[in-house]
Structure 1
């Protein structure tokens, strides 16, 4: 990059350092925006560390840390001798994952590879028959006159979700409910309202990578464990049917977690997206049931219980927070699709029926997956799930990132463990979902067994990738 191009980049960066938080996070956030908006196209050369640091009047370490963070997010590629460049938008399947640190869960949604069995995205791909019936009923309920703009959600669905929580012994008023376009939007809106660049967000490890992407995009510092004296701006947990491991938090731990959020006055997101998929029966109480404070924010959706294409989720929170979120949401899209919300209200009225059919199928497929793994990959350590849609597995040797590349060449896409770790650990783990019918799961495990036989893990010791945040 010549001096003229560096000058153009400085102009594009603008007032990048005027936010709150560490300078490297602020610089990474602005570069991220420029890359995502296409103002820095793929393969654009970025200035050397020392040059950009001098032009920005910051320490070289600030630029190095910003570049390293963007490399972990797969937005730039750094190679010794050839500098730092904006990463290609569509990465070749054979490129080693540890070169760019890409998130396969998102990349396989944006650019699904042909002829590959996707064990990456854990969402049902079979809309249940009752969904079509729910939409037919929704059409009959469309009002004769209604603008259709409901930033906080259609009143019928807000009332239905409030009744759902009240039925779980968590009294809820419709004013405490905000409807969202899935739980991912719920996390994004809450982060946008509650988190500033440089703020600390505390999460579990491993945890849902979609949430980690949101927190990183907000230039937050993500911590599984807080440093001495550190106070998070937000906490995020999946206590019921967790992603990726399918675990269920015990009651005593739920009480302690809720009490800690209340005592320290820290907002805590309780992600209940898979809460209705517990194999043993009804979902445990939400974290908000264990405190009278307003710090607990519950989010959920119908994407895992019903179908990923039914983009309806919600937030349960204090009414004043819901009002603030609705104002923020109105800036983006004025509210969600009314027909889908009316259909979702119909589905909620038949929740026991939906849950029973879904859980029975998942439990059967879970047991089948574990049986095939024991038969074909006995050296893998697989942790049975108590609910949800996924299991967590540990390889006996090698690196899950590298093995994922071998598996891809055998026709199966799997997400390596570091995608679920806010600090890039769990490099010897991977997640497997059990959403496919038994015969498809069998074929997928057979292919993984062939890939494992072809993979020489002894040459690839597990790499502990560590993010700066």
Structure 2
């Protein structure tokens, strides 16, 4: 059955759709059609969703039905909307588009696009030699069926060893290898969260985690993070005590997207509070290998766990390469076995060859990760410098690790800026993608994973667009279409 978005819901997603660059020069219907295309492009409006009837949307936006009719007609002409008399209109994609690496719908011809929607590095030079070495190791696995639901023993031991070196004694039996961190989260949710269960998350947080929770029809409550200070300990612990969620999903190491690092004292108090409330903690450690500027790391959250309340997930995507789909879960041995049983209905096991590549990369982890940190510091500082020069009214802190800046803009323009940026070859992930119900319009995530020259060029383009937004928004007026008799 096709899902449907109501008029008030679409109006909330559209926000200030009329405040676009060049808005003064374009008709209302064209601006509205462009705003809907923008929602499709950044993934906030899914494909195959039935849009509200023209009259309903006109009433929600307080514009004429004629304007909505013309906008829908333009969306049909560009291939973004299909309509059938008596059945309504639903979103679709023109044949010249594809799914980008962000998971968003993008034009095929985007070779010159600077993609700031992806917070991941290109592969390190050590990857190709590691792949060759893994290929040489592969024959000793070929006599078996190739199914290892919890992962090959070499990789599980390597991951367990890394946890032990961080001060958290771990055995291979406590590790389950997955096809990336997102897969690890999906499996944990399948095991630990019934459909409709209550979950506490940070705000802002990782969009794909929100998508995974939505797939489980979770009832989500949020704990807001301060731009400068991060977690408010009393508010976070109070939320756990009051809502008593079944799960809490947190990113304590260089939180995505803010870059905050949770202090050790709060980690200890959080685990104790979660145990008292009957809450399991899902701790995403995707960025734990990427402290910058010599930032010391607190103990892992699971160090304070005495009751198997903490399930840690991590992977190779951020410090190594996103194309190597290797992640893991660290939990109690019985939980790992239950996860393996739940996995059978999903994908059986991760590819053996990829796991062998991961083993060889982890053996070189000190050198690889040190080079990654140095690269990220250089790129982060270049991005901070050009932002201070070209967009001084934007407020941004210096993250102590991770790969992203969380920028407070000089107005609630994030979605409008992202739509305008596409026109000048810059792809952005606007703030509302990191929250619920269209909030966070004053914020923007900017990763510093691209070369410094690309980051400088991208900010230059954004500065020009920001100026155009001011000129367009300042002159924007609601207009009724001219009557021609």
TM-score (norm 2): 0.74
Deviations 1:233-264 (A, max 9, x none): 21100010111111111111111212222222
Q: Offset at 1:109?
A: 7.9
Give the CA RMSD over aligned residues.
2.9
Q: 2:55 aligns with which of 78, 81, 91?
A: 81
Tell me which of 104, 118, 123 is aligned to 1:121: 118
What 5-or-longer segments of structure 2 have no aligned partner? 9-42, 58-87, 224-238, 476-485
Structure 1 residues 316, 223: CA separation in 2 closer, same or farther (over 3 Å shift)? same
Moved more, 176-185 or 447-456: 447-456
Is 2:230 the partner of 1:217? no
Spell out the pairing of 1:42-191 with structure 2 (5 A cutoff): 74-75=46-47, 76=49, 77-78=51-52, 80-81=54-55, 85-89=89-93, 105-107=102-104, 113-125=110-122, 127-142=123-138, 143=140, 144-191=142-189
The match for 2:255 is 242
The aligned counterpart of 1:257 is 270
8 Å CA contact 1:208, 1:243 repeated in 2: yes
The equivalent position to 1:197 in structure 2, one of 188, 195, 198, is 195
2:396 aligned counterpart, secondary structure:
strand
Relative to 1, partners in 2 of residues 1:358 and 1:110: Cα closer, same or farther, differing over 3 Å?
farther
Q: Distance between the aligned counterparts of 1:273 and 1:362, measured in 2?
A: 15
- Mapped to 2, the partners of 1:444 and 1:48 lie a distance apart of 35
**Which blocks of at least 5 consecutive residues in structure 1 are unaligned?**
1-8, 10-30, 33-44, 50-70, 94-102, 462-469
Give CA deviations for 1:220-240 in whole Å, capped at 9, x if unaligned: 111115598532121100010
How far is the alpha carbon of 1:460 from its aligned partner?
A: 8.4
SS state at 1:361 partner:
helix
> What SS does the corresponding residue of 1:446 show, helix, strand or coil?
helix
Q: Give the 5 Å matches for 1:344-355.
A: 344-355=358-369
| Structure 1 residues 397-412: aligned runs within 5 Å | 397-412=411-426
Shift of 1:313: 0.6
Q: Give the Cα separation in 1 of the matches to 2:308 and 2:280.
A: 8
> 1:376 Cα shift?
0.6
Greater RCO, CA 8 A, separation 6+: 2
Q: Once structures 1 and 2 are overlaid, which stretch shifts more, 328-337 or 368-377?
A: 328-337
Please state how far the C-alpha of 1:391 moved relative to its aligned partner: 0.2
| Separation of aligned partners in 2, 1:229 and 1:434 | 37
Matches within 5 A, 1:350-429: 350-429=364-443
Q: Which residue of 1 aligns with 2:317?
A: 303
Query: Separation in 2 of the partners of 1:192 and 1:359?
Result: 34
Secondary structure of the residue aligned to 1:106 is coil
Please state whether the residue corresponding to 2:112 is helix, strand or coil.
coil
Does the CA-based 8 Å contact 1:398-1:460 persist in structure 2?
no
In 2, distance between residues paired with 1:320 and 1:108?
A: 40
What displacement does 1:153 show?
0.8
